[in-house]
Structure 1
Amino acid sequence: MKSILIKALPILFITSVSLTAVAVDVENSRNGYSLHENQTYASQTGYQKLLSGGDLTSWWTQNISSTMRTAIIPNRLSANTFKSNSSDWTKELGEVTANTHLGEMTLTDAINDPRAAVKAMIILHKGEVVLETYPGLRPTDSHFWASVAKPTAALLIEQLIDEGKLHDSDTVSTHLPDFAGTALGNTKVIELLDMVPGTDTHDSSKTRMDPDSIATRYYRAEFGEAYKNGKVETVRDILKSAGRTSPAGQVFEYSSGITQMLVFIAEAVTGQSWSDAFDDRVWSHVRADSALQIHLAPDGMAAAHGIVSSRLRDLARYGLLYTPYWSLVADKQVVSDAALARIAKPHYSHDTFMKGDGKRFTSYLGEAPLGNSRQWDAVYADGGMFKGGLFGQGLYVSPNEGIVIAYFSTVPSSPLHRFVRPLAKKLYQN
């Protein structure tokens, strides 16, 4: 199957970072934008301004295909109709409380607080909708997933492992010969999946402020911004230049560039573009409401680490693929039981997790997990799985209970992250 390609001009990328909490009137994004606003925001779009989480960010998260090349993966099956049990649950879930960086508050308070800039939220329990709200979106609007998309890159790798076409222990150069002799060429697939490569590819506030860091360079390349001497690099070439900082497997260091290595491997093994492979293997089997948008770098690289857009319900459908209720939203099981078992048991220790970015994820979730696993930020002993994204996006899945919590926001730090565990536990009781 072939996805449809839409071309647009790349957006400006600025390297310095300012993560300032900004209140956003999300009603503006729900009501739509004028011609003047669209033109103004498009001309002002820049990386530093996007990270502020203000009105420009709010516009961009719903209009990425206006600023970047985009592969459209159509919805090929008729959408399923979710049963709704929200009348019994909405008030009860709205009263769930959490201690957030904005203070102790109920879920209803968090959704209504302009500092949280919540665009939309949905909760499924055993495949039924128990809460759904759209303060800043129309239900038919698509929105930026951010790093919530990272498990999509891992899913293709999981399928190829299931099929015996690659192994966790394979080195990168086994499948990408052009990486032979590089630091990442000697890195194992499992070390990519769990983000413990021991290379200078770390994506953090510090590396984003360094104009010469690998992270800054691969974001520049992704958005078509020249690095030096007017040259626009490619993410692939930048990652070839990565150096080793420590033995692999010792520290969890978050990196979108490492996720992109999984994209390159999936393309090499399948012989397809990543978008076409994801279409064939996953999205064509999902009973989605609308198309999935995969936004692309200037060289056509699918930015599956995070620059992906869809409707909220389709993100929830994706989450449900990781549960026994997958048949409600798909015509075949695309996440195998074996893959789920691999995700549920972190390969590396809790100590490896906490030596690095595990401290940050534990802090904003409010409850320490077992660790990160295979592109999921956190997995818990009761089976809960969480993946977060910049600007407060989130996807929480409890496979055994068929719980899916999905949300879109527009602030760098969302209070909703602190609610996923209390909400899941509330639903466990029923």
Structure 2
Amino acid sequence: GPVRTGASGFAPLEVNSPMARWKLPQSAEWVNGAHSRFSFPNWQSGNDDSVYYNLNIPEFFNTRVVRPDEEFSVLERAIQGDLMNLTFTDHEGNTTQTLAEYLVGPKQVQAMLMAHQGKVVFEVYPGMNPLDMHVWMSASKTTAGLLVAMLADAGTVDLDQPLSSYVEELKGSAWDDITVKNTMNMATALNNEETFANLTNPESWIANWFSAVFGVGDVTPTQWREMMKTVEKLDSEKPGELFRYSTSNTQALVMLTEAVTGMNWQDYWHQQVWSKIGARSPLIVGLTPDGMPVGGGLINTTPEDMIRYAMLYTPSWNVVSSENVVPQRLLDMIFNMGNPDAYTASTERTYGTQWFGEVPLKNTAQWDHAFADGAMFKHGNMGQGIYVDPGRDFCGMYFGLASNDTSLTGIDHSPGYLRAAAKALAGK
């Protein structure tokens, strides 16, 4: 017979989730209907159409395929099924349900992987096949942040210079007064925050910018760029004072990376990171209408390739790469960039506290939440996430698809389970 290679000791855990139906093809009639119903609100709804869109982003957006290396890194499995019994104390002081119960609940988790000391210790696919692609949503932002941190580490970019000093087309705009560092930390003092109120207000700058960046509705291909120049400063605060979350800040970092390197973002990403981790499958990134990667949200990979990327931030990086892509000094730069004071009054701090059941220290360099022990987490819209915990030599990821409305689907506790697992496995 043919000689085949694959994952080492691949034996994912099984749960009986209603989401299992997404492992099978949907009927042509239903898929055609989902296409006809595609709109920004429907995509964001968490309904069945929305599940399909997020498993099949390349059907709905122009994309670029970023090839993997010729050989993939083999991740050994050392599955610890007793992690299914994990619980943690939530933000109200109550014990959560077990992870096994949570995985089949209303948050509609589709995949979850955890690795400790370079081995996959937990792997489950309640709502997708192991080699299906899924969108990262805002977990993508860590990639844009990493490339800018690399440029700063190399001395090519000065974090204390205005962002517009590197991006010609943003000169003469609000970005003249916003440093690269404040853009990395999402403390730009611009009226571009992604609050629920702003996103659902068709008059807001950010709602209109999203329509432009995703090419939804009556927009020109370059409209999102023109809008980057017209975003207004907030009267009441200065850059650096408050963490206000916005994908437009991340897109400014993508613009910076292309301007400084003279390369397409996806080619620089391939050169610096993707070609070095032994990815098994391609990475697919969605593009703006005029062809620039949406580095803040439209990266798609398999779950296993996402955990390979996460492992770069842990001491077990050498399991996936022959080169230390995120050396300690770069990890320190990323972790130390954020300011706890700017985090304290932020909306995101409340989310982080609800997700983990403990209060994180700060946000930093495109990561939503960082802890005093060095762990960092980035969330993605409707239930995606990446957690790296260098001190415990642990990393984890999850994909899912559920409405952001917690009154319908409850709090996203996946982050808390990942952190609880890290503590249990490391014994601290």
TM-score, structure 2 normalization: 0.90
The 5 A counterparts of 1:225-264 are 225-226=216-217, 231=220, 233-245=222-234, 246-264=237-255
Aligned to 1:126, which of 108, 112, 117?
117
CA distance in 2, matches of 1:103, 1:38: 40
Q: 1:52/1:307 Cα in 2 relative to 1: closer, same or farther (>3 Å)?
A: same
CA distance in 2, matches of 1:415, 1:381: 20
Residue 33 (structure 2) pairs with residue 40 (structure 1): yes
Percent sequence identity over matched residues?
29
What residue number does 2:12 align with? none
How large is the RMSD of aligned CA atoms in angstroms? 1.8
What residue number does 1:8 align with? none
What residue number does 1:158 align with? 149
The ranges of structure 1 where at least 4 consecutive aligned residues each deviate by more than 4 angstroms after the TM superposition are 99-103, 230-233
Aligned to 1:191, which of 179, 182, 185?
182
Deviation at 1:336, TM superposition (A): 2.7
Aligned to 1:56, which of 26, 38, 49?
49
Tell me, what secondary structure is at the counterpart of 2:194? Answer: coil
Aligned to 1:98, which of 88, 96, 107?
88
CA distance in 1, matches of 2:45, 2:416: 21
The 5 A counterparts of 1:197-208 are 197-208=188-199
**Aligned residues of 1:224 and 1:298 also touching (Cα < 8 A):** yes
Deviation at 1:99, TM superposition (A): 4.9
Aligned to 2:370, which of 367, 376, 379?
379
Tell me, what secondary structure is at the counterpart of 1:288? Answer: coil
Q: 1:319/1:313 Cα in 2 relative to 1: closer, same or farther (>3 Å)?
A: same
CA distance in 2, matches of 1:226, 1:48: 12
Of the structure 1 ranges 102-111 and 211-220, higher mean CA displacement relative to structure 2 is found in 102-111
Q: 1:193/1:265 Cα in 2 relative to 1: closer, same or farther (>3 Å)?
A: same
CA distance in 1, matches of 2:68, 2:96: 40
**Aligned residues of 1:180 and 1:186 also touching (Cα < 8 A):** no
**Aligned residues of 2:335 and 2:365 also touching (Cα < 8 A):** no
Deviation at 1:146, TM superposition (A): 0.6
Aligned to 1:359, which of 337, 350, 375?
350
Tell me, what secondary structure is at the counterpart of 1:42? Answer: helix
**Aligned residues of 1:285 and 1:331 also touching (Cα < 8 A):** yes
Aligned to 2:200, which of 200, 209, 213?
209
Q: Name the aligned partner's letter for residue 224 of structure 2.
A: V
Deviation at 1:388, TM superposition (A): 0.8
What residue number does 1:82 align with? 75
Deviation at 1:32, TM superposition (A): 2.3
Deviation at 1:324, TM superposition (A): 1.9
Residue 100 (structure 2) pairs with residue 108 (structure 1): yes
CA distance in 1, matches of 2:51, 2:121: 26
Tell me, what secondary structure is at the counterpart of 2:255? Answer: helix
**Aligned residues of 1:77 and 1:285 also touching (Cα < 8 A):** no
CA distance in 2, matches of 1:339, 1:235: 31
What residue number does 2:8 align with? none
Residue 392 (structure 2) pairs with residue 401 (structure 1): yes
Q: Name the aligned partner's letter for residue 308 of structure 2.
A: R
Tell me, what secondary structure is at the counterpart of 1:400? Answer: helix
Deviation digits for residues 48-84 of structure 1, max 9, x if unmatched?
1222211111101111101100100011231111122
What residue number does 1:424 align with? 422
Residue 19 (structure 2) pairs with residue 26 (structure 1): yes
CA distance in 1, matches of 2:154, 2:289: 32
Q: Name the aligned partner's letter for residue 369 of structure 1.
A: P
Tell me, what secondary structure is at the counterpart of 1:394? Answer: strand
CA distance in 2, matches of 1:74, 1:190: 30
**Aligned residues of 2:133 and 2:302 also touching (Cα < 8 A):** yes
Deviation at 1:377, TM superposition (A): 0.8
CA distance in 1, matches of 2:56, 2:132: 10
Of the structure 1 ranges 316-325 and 39-48, higher mean CA displacement relative to structure 2 is found in 39-48
